[in-house]
Structure 1
Amino acid sequence: MTELFNASELSPTEKRGPGVVGIIEFAVGDQKEFTGEYIPTDMRFFMVADMNGQPYQRVISYDDIKGVEVEDSALTVNFDMGPIRIRDIGNGTAQVFADFVNEQLDKRK
């Protein structure tokens, strides 16, 4: 899969963390699965999904994330709005990703 994330979105001092690519499970109309990426940085969190050939990007504050849980080749990010799971992770390591995000959350407590 071609990377959907546009690195030009990052500020000059922002550092990108370990991302994961896979199938993001959330419903939009009749569609319930989207190929996508979770990209954490030291400042914020990006969720990018391929919606019928068009990248859709959502930028999320760490203040809106409760934590990350790893389960085999999938992980769930627990957002304030509810959990969103990504499975069939094709690159990156789920545990490394989860550790990075949870570390960012711990810094903000």
Structure 2
Amino acid sequence: MILDNVNPNDLFPTEKKGPTVLGTIEYSVQGSTEFEGAFIATNERIILNVDMNGEFYYRSIAYNDVEKIEYDGEKINFTFNIGPMHMKNIQ
């Protein structure tokens, strides 16, 4: 499963793919707390791709939903209006 790329056909006509970060996302869902995933920045949004136990999960995140992004030397800490998400083992 390729997580750190996006199909050009899935982008808006005016959208351009930017930097990508791939790693382990810490998020509690159905008893699991770590998933391999990627955040893909574009000029219009952030795309979240995650491998959730073999199932592909995709989410589009508007920039106005981003409250804060910080790097503490080990993890990238994303804070969205729906709550925090942390990424470690950054590749």
| Superposition TM-score, scaled by structure 2 size | 0.88
Runs of 4+ in 1 over 4 A off after TM superposition: none
Q: What does residue 70 of structure 1 align with?
A: 71
CA drift of 1:3 comes to: 2.2
Letter in 1 for 2:72: E
Between the aligned partners of 1:16 and 1:57, the Cα distance in structure 2 is: 16
Partner of 1:72, secondary structure, is coil
Q: What does residue 20 of structure 1 align with?
A: 21
CA drift of 1:32 comes to: 0.3
Unaligned runs of 5+ in 2: none
Letter in 2 for 1:88: N
Q: 1:6 to 1:54 in 2, by over 3 A?
A: farther
Partner of 2:64, secondary structure, is helix
RMSD in angstroms over aligned alpha carbons? 1.3
* Greater percentage in strand: 2
Unaligned runs of 5+ in 1: 91-109
What CA deviation, in whole Å up to 9, does each residue of 1:3-52 have, x standing for no partner?
A: 22432311232111111000000011110000000111110111111012
**Match runs of 1:1-109 below 5 Å:** 2-4=1-3, 5-7=5-7, 8-90=9-91
**Count of paired positions:** 89
* Greater percentage in helix: 1
What CA deviation, in whole Å up to 9, does each residue of 1:46-100 have, x standing for no partner?
A: 111101212100111111111210122420111011110011111xxxxxxxxxx
